[in-house]
Amino acid sequence: MHKLVIVGTCAFDEIESPFGKTGKILGGAGTFIGLAASNFEVDQAIVSVVGSDFPQEYIDLLKNRGINMEGLEVVKDGKTFFWKGRYHNDLNSRDTLITELNTLADFNPVVPEAYKDAEIVMLGNLHPLVQLSVLDQMNKKPKLAILDTMNFWMDSALEDLKKVIARVDVITINDEEARQLSGEYSLVTAAQKISAMGPRFVVIKKGEHGALLFEEDKIFFAPALPLEEVFDPTGAGDTFAGGFAGYLTSTGDLSFENMKRAIIHGSNLASFCVEKFGTERMQNLKPEEIEKRLLKFKALTQFNLDL
């Protein structure tokens, strides 16, 4: 199996939405990415940090999904990263109520020796210097480095972020972030400007409106699957990234055509993530459910034209 290294948070989330409230539950970008990627034949490792308050059952859950957890640092007497948020009625906007960095504030990632030759590296949404540290630890340049980031780092660490962007092959951000990073309103022009910073591929996520993939003059659009119920959008973007990275790692094909398929696989898995609070849906996902919904995606997007 091809190797995938994921750097991202393993965390506690607490969520309020029009559909209810949770207590502290399993969350974090690394968690969602890993759970999504575990639906493919990949040899993956998560690099993250937690406190001693992080339950062993959560670590075992990830291990049981075939995820190597040697890169998880457990800080004795430390507290795990915690985020609490409240979603508005439309679920497209949210308020952050509490953010506690805790052990994440001093996180120095250590890539396990056996994964320093990984073909693909997925850099989850963390400080750019942490992401750079992971790239520096690899024995050789990965075949594909994928970066996920957000507007917070554009506001607070732009120069460091630009250094990471210059070293990756794919960047995934949402439409608002793409406009902020590029200074352009048109997403086509924004993608061109961002690609000029380094990445060969630019993926712009548009939430319930799907995702765009750009490479030079080529553009692909994948819709999001219309769903009857959306309970919790938390982790949907990370699940998308995990499905995208997991599929590419499993196939070893980094062409534009295969990137298009990876976008569909990522969108497909993200459509499951939002159906329950936190990671609940992703923990219990069955292969036949994934395949059935992929067929729905195919039916949604496929048509013939006589020209």
Phi-psi region of 182 (alpha: psi -120 to 50; beta: other; left: phi over 0): alpha
Q: What pLDDT does 127 receive?
A: 95
Q: What pLDDT does 277 receive?
A: 93
Q: What pLDDT does 145 receive?
A: 98
Q: What pLDDT does 94 receive?
A: 87
- pTM value is 0.96
Q: What pLDDT does 230 receive?
A: 83
Spatial separation of the C-alpha atoms in residues 67 and 60, rounded to whole Å: 9
pLDDT in tens, the chain (307 residues): 999 999 999 999 999 988 889 999 999 999 999 999 999 999 999 999 999 999 999 999 999 999 999 999 999 999 999 999 999 887 777 899 999 999 999 999 999 999 999 999 999 999 999 999 999 999 999 999 999 999 999 999 999 999 999 999 999 999 999 999 999 999 999 999 999 999 999 999 998 889 999 999 999 999 988 888 888 889 999 999 999 999 999 999 999 999 999 999 999 999 999 999 999 999 999 999 999 999 999 998 888 889 8
Among residues 25, 6, 5, which one has the least CA distance to residue 15?
Answer: 25
